[in-house]
Amino acid sequence: MIQDGAILIRDGILVEVGPSRRVENLAEARNAIEINAAGRVVMPGFVDAHTHLAFPPAGIDAPNPAAAMRALHSATVQRLEVRARAYLQAMARHGTTTVEVKTGCGLDEGAESKLWRMLGALRSEPIDLVPSFLFRCSGELNGGLSDANEWVVAELLPKIRRRGVAHFADLAWDSDPDLLPWFDRYLEAARLLGFDRKIHADCANPEGAVALAARHNVVSIDHLEYATVREARQIVAAGIMATLLPRASFGGDVREAPARALIDAGVAVALGSNFNPHDTPALNMQTMVAMACGRLGMTVEEAISAATINGAHALGCADQVGSLEPGKSADLVILNAGHYRSLETSLGTNLVHLTMKRGKFIYKEGDVAPLPADDFL
């Protein structure tokens, strides 16, 4: 932490970071526009490493697969875009500057293509989107469903790669041993196509998911609510990130992720909101930091790192975002707080005063409009 610090930004890139006296005396700073953040915390913009923002879509009563497909087919790309943009704008107001977004409509290529078009339309939004395709392997391997899994691996995945609509190939783990050959096939096909890979491991027996992740050298393994110290050691040995989701267990029967045991074993931990408009409608990464401290046993320093630079590593973009270092994108937030420790206790409060993306302010805190005088009794 730099007390009385300053940063110098040129063309959306951080040029210098350090004590105000040194930065302000640089020749390059002489004609700079000054933004006064006195008494406030300046920190990296939040990186949300795990969301379901695109699917299932909002506006359906029961978020089951059949209802989700019907909703996608009945909605226009423009309508989906409007809803997703509203979520992204809310994220920006709460300090998020980079977010992972999962698609994964199963065997419905038409629905999947609609989400690809929606994400393409959102590329002009100020928040950077990191798309992932989530594959949920069919558990019924007889006849047509086996053929369906083959179609996803042999046809849909290469099409996704050719169109460049996803950065990650994600996999929903299932402990059914009959599915393991398909999991291996999917992850190996993704590797050969040039995808970075992830694994969802929210099951009660994650040892198989961890072994699969290590075997295929995935970037991150997510959820891990049921991980043990043994799995933590395997994750460390494999050099894999763990993305934890504090909101996933809130108000349900799911266990809290063992963040303390993972970190003490040496696992690099990132945080994600797990945003889903139905099950986990929470998109404020400040809340995830507070919950990681209060429910997962993380220190506030660990939680902030997990929500910024470690999240960037989990999304493969840590060379560009996630910390305030010269040469990186000027993605930052200014907080209405005198110390970063306020994030630990400000559950449900938006501390963001300003959000900056690539050197441009994408959110500025506004005044509450007063009532006209004639409205008072």
292-309: pLDDT as tens digits: 999 999 999 999 999 999
Tokens for 46?
Answer: 């939040």
Question: pLDDT tens across 362-373, in order?
Answer: 999 998 888 887
CB atoms within 10 A of CB 370: 7
pTM (2 d.p.): 0.94
Question: pLDDT tens across 176-216, in order?
Answer: 888 999 999 999 999 999 999 999 999 888 999 999 999 99
pLDDT value at residue 69: 80
pLDDT value at residue 57: 76
pLDDT value at residue 59: 66
Q: Does 145 have pLDDT greater than 80?
A: no
More confident residue, 372 or 257: 257
Over residues 333-361, mean pLDDT: 96
- CA atoms of 377 and 372, how far apart (whole Å): 11
Percentage of residues of the chain with pLDDT beyond 70: 95
pLDDT value at residue 141: 47
Cα separations in angstroms, 25 against 33, 39, 40: 14, 21, 22
pLDDT value at residue 280: 85
Q: Does 143 have pLDDT greater than 60?
A: no
- Domain residue limits, the chain: 5-42+328-364, 46-314
Question: pLDDT tens across 97-120, in order?
Answer: 999 999 988 778 888 999 999 999
pLDDT value at residue 230: 95
More confident residue, 12 or 281: 12
pLDDT value at residue 266: 97
Q: Is residue 252 exposed (0-12), middle (13-18) or buried (19+ Cβ within 10 Å)?
A: exposed
Class of domain 46-314: alpha beta
Q: Does 139 have pLDDT greater than 70?
A: no
Ordered DSSP codes for 94-127: TTEEEEEEEE--TT-HHHHHHHHHHHHHGGGSSS
Over residues 249-275, mean pLDDT: 90
Q: Of 279, 218, 196, 217, give the one whose Cα is nearest residue 245.
A: 279
Question: pLDDT tens across 227-246, in order?
Answer: 999 999 999 999 999 999 99
Q: Does 361 have pLDDT greater than 50?
A: yes
Q: How do 332-335 and 41-44 pair as beta strands?
A: antiparallel
pLDDT band of residue 351 (cuts 50, 70, 90) is: very high
Q: Which CATH superfamily is domain 5-42+328-364 in?
A: Urease, subunit C, domain 1 (2.30.40.10)
pLDDT value at residue 252: 65
Over residues 261-266, mean pLDDT: 97
